[in-house]
Amino acid sequence: MRILHLLNHTNRLNGHVHAAVDLACAQRMLGHAIAVASGGGDFDALLTRHDVEQFTISHRRRPLDLSRSLFLLRHYIQAWRADVVHAHMMTSAVLAWPVCKLVGIPLVTTVHNEFQRSAILMGLGTRVIAVSTAVGRSMQKRGVPLSKLHVVLNGTIGAARFQGRDRTPVDLGFPAILFVGGQHPRKGLPDLFEAFSSVHARHPAAKLYIVGEGPHLASYREMVGKMPCSGAVTFAGAQDDPFAWMLGADIFVLPSLADPAPLVLSEAREAGCAIVATDVDGIPQLLEQGMAGILVPPRDPPALASVLCSLLDNPETIAEWKRKSQTKIDYLTIERVAGETMKVYKAAISSLRQ
């Protein structure tokens, strides 16, 4: 099959970009012809190494840019002879919809960021992929027909992004608690800081590491700087590959307020961390409904602190949850994601022929 992926850019630090790049490379390894049309970015060299063709298409939302992009997209689809277009963001879906209609091929969309109001535009697809069951339910409530929807749970294990990566753990000491993600309100970091303040009072040897960056990083640093636990919190910034930090951590924490299907949980499970995360959106599904990680209510720092203290009170409990993180972990491979996505493409092509 000839598959053209369409996304805004190929830069790091965006979950939907990581998922699209992982999928494109996995599909190429399965023997399909793959191209990516985007504004370019950090992963271009990786795509080239995996024999994924690349086209440049601007996603700037200005009339002249959009008109040129529509023309270019039609040219690339026809000249490259695409069988299906797979759009990964709202602008991509809006660009691709009229062109796919015109040339008579299916458009498949993936809803990565369901919490955005504009996610309803992903319903333009001939078929719509939801990255978790929770996202699928949300899109159905927004009016996307069940007949269009397919759930393909995110997974990263075996992804091309991680081939040949260093598996030497970062020495974080014991006990080390780690967060990896963007510095955005929906990630719930203020709740983690409040919880850790209580944890550190009971376990003064505990350390908290924050890996990632974002628009609220400065305010979070200022917030923590006023807490008694400030000396035990390290803001490590963005890392090209946080996996080594996960390998060095004892407990991985994700206190999100909203998270469709965070890729970072697949990575933390592969690294063998004990995991504590909030019971929201796709997180329970990625943690086998609590069998592979401890679920806590969102916006509840005392509950989070209680769970973290219970783990730190007994190192054997941490070791037990590290073992539990491996429960059904084989389901989180990129190979499974690629295989299920191919079935969605075939269903989309078949629907246009009926």
User: 181 and 327: one domain?
Assistant: yes
**78 lies in a domain?**
yes
User: 349 and 235: one domain?
Assistant: no
Gyration radius of the chain over CA positions: 21
DSSP 112-172: S-TTSGGGGGGGGSSEEEESSHHHHHHHHHTT--TTTEEE-----BT-GGGTT---PPP--
User: 143 and 282: one domain?
Assistant: no
User: 231 and 117: one domain?
Assistant: no
3-state helix, strand and coil shares in percent for the chain, rounded to the nearest 5: 50, 15, 35
* pLDDT tens string 25-41: 999 999 999 999 999 99
Q: What CATH number corresponds to the domain at position 139?
A: 3.40.50.2000
Q: Does this model's pTM top 0.85?
A: yes
What is the pLDDT, as a whole number, of residue 65? 84
Domains: count for the chain: 2
* pLDDT tens string 188-211: 999 999 999 999 999 999 999 999
Eight-class DSSP state of 234: E
What is the pLDDT, as a whole number, of residue 114? 82
Helix (H, G, I), strand (E, B) or coil at 178: strand
Q: Provide the domain limits for residue 105.
A: 2-155+333-353
* pLDDT tens string 107-126: 999 999 888 788 899 999 99
Eight-class DSSP state of 333: B
User: 85 and 132: one domain?
Assistant: yes
Q: What are phi and psi of 276, to 5 degrees?
A: -125, 125
What is the pLDDT, as a whole number, of residue 43? 96
What span, in angstroms and rounded, lies between the C-alpha atoms of 252 and 249? 7
**170 lies in a domain?**
no
What is the pLDDT, as a whole number, of residue 241? 81
User: 327 and 338: one domain?
Assistant: no
**322 lies in a domain?**
yes
CB 27 within 8 A of CB 10: no
User: 225 and 349: one domain?
Assistant: no
User: 287 and 316: one domain?
Assistant: yes
What span, in angstroms and rounded, lies between the C-alpha atoms of 102 and 201? 64
DSSP H helices, 9-143, are 15-29, 44-49, 63-80, 90-103, 133-141
User: 229 and 83: one domain?
Assistant: no
Low-confidence ranges of the chain (pLDDT < 50): none
What is the pLDDT, as a whole number, of residue 154? 97
